Amino acid sequence: MAHVLVVEDDPAIRSGLVRSLSERGHAVATAPNGLDGLRQVVDDRPDVVLLDLGLPDVDGHSVLSMIRAVRAVPVIVVTARDDDPSVVRALDAGADDYVVKPFRAEQLEARIRAVLRRAATQDAASTLTVGDLVVELAPRTVTLEGRAVELSRREFDLLAHLAARPGEVVNKRELLAEVWHQVYGGAERSLDVHLSWLRRKLGESAAEPRYLHSVRGVGIRLAAPDPAPDNPSDTAPDGGSEATGNTSDRGPDGGSESTDRVHDESP
């Protein structure tokens, strides 16, 4: 049983959902508009939110962003069309899943169970440590060398997924399915963008990776950096570029593409 909040302005759909969810043993609360829904998310802390995108007061996408700003509660978006570009937008903005109207009660129930399972896994008290990087799953906090790193929800999910299997190359397709919940692709660009933001927040880049290594054509590997050599002058690369982190002075043939390859999988 879960505490389900239904944010839906259509009274017929709303009461239908209340009936079918209650029959399956859930405690159901409803909100006829976005602001009331948001208030209940904050005050009543539901386990899962069913969010209609077409709401009378505030657009469903804005409601979703506001929910995401305050809580990591699972959100299932309810939409009228499965090819709706707004569904993709909602998933990119942090929705956990979606259902298309009209939907069968069993289908909705399965989606609810799935998002609750994922949320429970994420909530399991656990700390992942990779070198000086510490990822705490329950409070969703990250520290690097003892300093807090502020991450967005998606950046955190991406990092946590990689940190669960340190040293292993994680396939991009798996990341798209597990972190973006997009089995059929479509978020590759979003993955690349979030990866680059994550790198920046960890103080590294694709050209100068420390923890996050792209393995071309395969995926991404999170691993602790090698310990600093006792005598750095013995091993400093030509030009000492690691001291400045500046790639702009390498000239046209020394761009980040070739640097990436050299750093990534050389033994």
Contact set with Ca ion (CB under 5 A): 9, 52, 54
Minimum distance between the CB of residue 85 and Ca ion, rounded to whole angstroms?
17
Minimum distance between the CB of residue 60 and Ca ion, rounded to whole angstroms?
8
Residue with Cβ nearer Ca ion (52 or 208):
52
Q: How many residues are recorded in the chain? A: 267
Minimum distance between the CB of residue 35 and Ca ion, rounded to whole angstroms?
14
Q: Find out whether the peptide bond into 102 is cis, omega within 30 degrees of 0.
A: yes
Minimum distance between the CB of residue 27 and Ca ion, rounded to whole angstroms?
23
Minimum distance between the CB of residue 108 and Ca ion, rounded to whole angstroms?
16
Residue with Cβ nearer Ca ion (63 or 220):
63
User: What is the Cα–Cα distance from 11 to 14, expressed in whole angstroms?
Assistant: 5
Residue with Cβ nearer Ca ion (6 or 206):
6
Minimum distance between the CB of residue 59 and Ca ion, rounded to whole angstroms?
11
Q: Which residue is nearest to Ca ion (CB)?
A: 54
**3, 46 contact by CB (below 8 A):** yes
Residue with Cβ nearer Ca ion (60 or 74):
60
**Three-state SS letters, the chain:** CCEEEEECCCHHHHHHHHHHHHHCCCEEEEECCHHHHHHHHHHHCCCEEEEECCCCCCCHHHHHHHHHHHCCCCEEEEECCCCCHHHHHHHHCCCCEEEECCCCHHHHHHHHHHHHHHHHHHHCCCEEEECCEEEECCCCEEEECCEEECCCHHHHHHHHHHHCCCCCEEEHHHHHHHCCCCCCCCCHHHHHHHHHHHHHHCCCCCCCCCCEEEECCCEEEECCCCCCCCCHHHHCCHHHHHHHCCCHHHCHHHCHHHHHHHHHHCC
Minimum distance between the CB of residue 61 and Ca ion, rounded to whole angstroms?
13
Residue with Cβ nearer Ca ion (47 or 52):
52
User: What is the Cα–Cα distance from 152 to 215, expressed in whole angstroms?
Assistant: 24
Residue with Cβ nearer Ca ion (52 or 204):
52
Residue with Cβ nearer Ca ion (33 or 171):
33
